[in-house]
Amino acid sequence: MMDKVKYVWSKTNRWHRGFLIFLLVELRVLPGGQLGFTCNDPALSYPFTGDTISWKLLLATTILLPLAFMLIVERNYSNKSVNSKQQALCWYKEYLFGILINLVIVQTLKLIVGSPRPHFFDTCDPKEAKTCQGSEYVPSYTCTKAHWLMQSDRSFPSGHTSLAVHTGIFLAYYLHRRTSSPRTKGVLSIQFVCIAVAVLCGVSRMTDHRHHWWDVLAGVVIAAPVLFYTINSLCGNFECSNTDVEESKECAETSDNALLNAKET
């Protein structure tokens, strides 16, 4: 049995493995943790009011905006001898893999920690909260609102913040590296907007009472090393230059070769 598992695993690539882990976490195939709550805790007593920035908007921006950025920038600023489309798609592919790593880490931590959200009492409505008194600590609970069972205990860390910071800083740094005049007002303005939107997303998670402040901070902390790995190891600090289709294929394989070399060493 183990031999078959090892054989199948050897036939997979980094994308297969990343998506597999993500699905196992999302489907809760493995048991997760569950932090309890303090009776009448005001930090968990906020009403649920929705999201200023929805998951659909966040994912659409995270996935589509960088592609448009790269195609436009490479077409207008890259060396004319370089296949600009192939160059942009090369880095975009690595950017997406970095996003996948970010998601896997965030969702895994959400499952392991099981931290109640600020609107926990409103959306979970645990039956134990109806009988507890004073500041009694309840180590385990059962939600009475079944449709919120999968979300009320996923506060830590903030996935919105982590993805927004990853995308915002990635684009700002990409513009700095790839535009011929990175200090012009136009480029600086776009960089400022990228970072400002990422900050706004994190702040909105607190003002919407969807996350605690430490959840948002954790999202930033997670995004930082993943972003560093994405830019330097996967994208080669945006220094990959190719003059024809064959070299652009080599560019697309840069990160795979780096991973193999790392394993050998």
In order along its 265 residues, the chain shows pLDDT tens digits of 777 777 777 778 999 899 999 999 988 888 888 899 999 999 999 999 999 999 999 999 999 999 999 999 988 876 655 678 888 999 999 999 999 999 999 999 999 999 999 999 999 999 998 888 888 999 989 898 877 777 888 999 999 999 999 999 999 999 999 887 767 888 899 999 999 999 999 999 999 999 999 999 999 999 999 999 999 999 999 985 544 344 444 454 544 454 444 444 3
* Whole-number pLDDT of residue 259: 44
Q: Give the per-residue pLDDT at 202.
A: 97
pLDDT at 131: 87
Residue 232 lies in a domain: yes
**What are the φ and ψ backbone dihedral angles of 13, each rounded to 5 degrees?**
-115, -175
In whole angstroms, how far apart are CA 190 and each of 158, 193, 195, 227?
25, 5, 9, 19
Q: Could you list the residue range(s) of the whole structural domain that residue 190 is in?
A: 51-117+153-264
The Cα 95–Cα 79 span in angstroms is 22
Task: Tell whether 30 is covered by a domain.
Answer: no
Report how far residue 121's alpha carbon sits from residue 134's, in angstroms, rounded to the nearest whole number: 15
Q: Is residue 180 part of a domain?
A: yes
Element (H, E) at 236: none
Q: What is the pLDDT of residue 236?
A: 92
- 8 inside domain: no
Q: One-letter amino acid identity for 171?
A: L
CA dihedral for 34, 38, 41, 47, sign (positive or negative): positive
Largest CA distance in the chain: 73
- The answer to whether residue 41 is domain-embedded is no
The verdict on residue 140 lying in a domain is no
Enumerate the β-bridge partners of residue 130: none
Closest CA to 117 of 173, 59, 80, 159: 159
Q: Residue 106 contacts by C-beta under 8 Å, 6 or more apart in sequence?
A: 157, 159, 162, 163, 219, 222
Report the domain count for the chain.
Answer: 1
Contact 89, 253 (CB under 8 A): no
Q: How confident is the model at residue 204, as a pLDDT?
A: 97
Per this entry, what is the length of the chain?
Answer: 265
Chain CA centroid to CA 173, Å: 17
> Does any domain span residue 252?
yes
215 assigned to some structural domain: yes
pLDDT at 263: 42
**Cα 207 to Cα 122: distance, rounded to the nearest angstrom:** 16
| H-helix or E-strand spanning residue 38 | strand 37-38
The C-alpha atoms of residue 12 and residue 93 are separated, in whole angstroms, by: 17
